[in-house]
Amino acid sequence: MTPLFITFEGPEGAGKSTQLRRLAERLGAEGVRHIVTREPGGTPLGTRVREVLLDPGLTIDPLPEFLLYSASRAQLVREIIRPALERGEVVLCDRYADSSLAYQGAGRGLDTSFLRMLTREVTGGLTPDLTVLLDLDPGVGLTRAANRGQPDRLERADLGFHRRVRQGFLDLAAGEPGRFLVLDASRGVETLAAAIWHAVGERLGAPAP
């Protein structure tokens, strides 16, 4: 089995977690060894960092925000992602470094060359084999997110911020079309799941559905 590192990205409310779960179920049904993780989180340190980053009662400046994400990311790569890839498994991750480029770069205005440099250091240059970008109008996504319950710190940011984040993701995808699979997240769950499996199946050498 060829190891694969697959990440799911997109604005708030795009349905990343749903599609990641559907892909994990399909991989399991096909007998493909895989793990599921997320950012921030995935490790005891990452879980603590996640609580801080999403706390709506905190105000965090852009640079420390990015550094906190980076600390969680470094631990996740070393403790979870690299070992799984070395075992020949498929790794599914809900968000990764592209989120920092979109949120803290395009959204917050931090220098993306600095973000990329530090990200290379903390990840050892590990990049996904496939990034599924679920694209959605921020207004629609924030409404979806609000329907899930109390909004977290990022979901409470203004619409202009979320529009910049969305454009940041689209710019990243345009720069690396071979890595990104961009899908319209307003499409049905089953349609999206089928398109994602088709792309993953090609990389695994599995027949298309």
83: CATH? 3.40.50.300
Q: What confidence category does residue 12 fall into, taking pLDDT thresholds of 50, 70 and 90?
A: confident
Q: Is 11 annotated as a binding residue?
A: yes
- Radius of gyration of the CA atoms of the chain, in A: 16
Question: pLDDT tens-digit profile of 144-181?
Answer: 877 777 778 888 889 999 999 999 999 999 999 999 99
In a domain, 209, yes or no: no
Cα 161 to Cα 170: distance, rounded to the nearest angstrom: 14
In a domain, 99, yes or no: yes
Q: How many domains does the chain have?
A: 1
Low-confidence winner among 34-43, 134-143, 171-180 (lowest mean pLDDT): 134-143
Q: Is 14 annotated as a binding residue?
A: yes
Cα 177 to Cα 113: distance, rounded to the nearest angstrom: 20
Q: Is 12 annotated as a binding residue?
A: yes
Counts for the chain of helices (H) and strands (E), in that order: 9, 5
pLDDT at residue 143 in the model:
86
Residue (of 90, 85, 87, 96) closest to 36 by Cα position: 90
**Within the chain, what is the greatest distance between any pair of CA atoms?**
49
Helix (H, G, I), strand (E, B) or coil at 143: helix
pLDDT at residue 1 in the model:
66
In a domain, 131, yes or no: yes
Place of tokens 């852009």: 62
Q: Is 15 annotated as a binding residue?
A: yes
Q: What is the mean pLDDT of residues 19-25?
A: 97
Q: Is 186 annotated as a binding residue?
A: no
Neighbouring C-beta atoms of residue 207, cutoff 10 Å: 7
Look over the chain and give the mean of its residue pLDDT values, rounded to a whole number. Answer: 94
In a domain, 27, yes or no: yes
Using alpha carbons only, give the angle 108, 77, 163 rounded to the nearest 5 degrees.
25
Which pTM value belongs to this model? 0.93
Q: Is 194 annotated as a binding residue?
A: no
In a domain, 71, yes or no: yes
pLDDT at residue 209 in the model:
52
Question: pLDDT tens-digit profile of 90-103?
Answer: 999 999 999 999 99
Helices within the chain (DSSP H only): 16-29, 44-53, 62-76, 82-86, 97-100, 112-123, 138-147, 159-175, 189-204
* Domain assignment of residue 154, given as a range: 4-204
Helix (H, G, I), strand (E, B) or coil at 61: coil
Beta bridge partners of 184: 135
Question: pLDDT tens-digit profile of 100-115?
Answer: 999 999 999 999 999 9
In a domain, 33, yes or no: yes
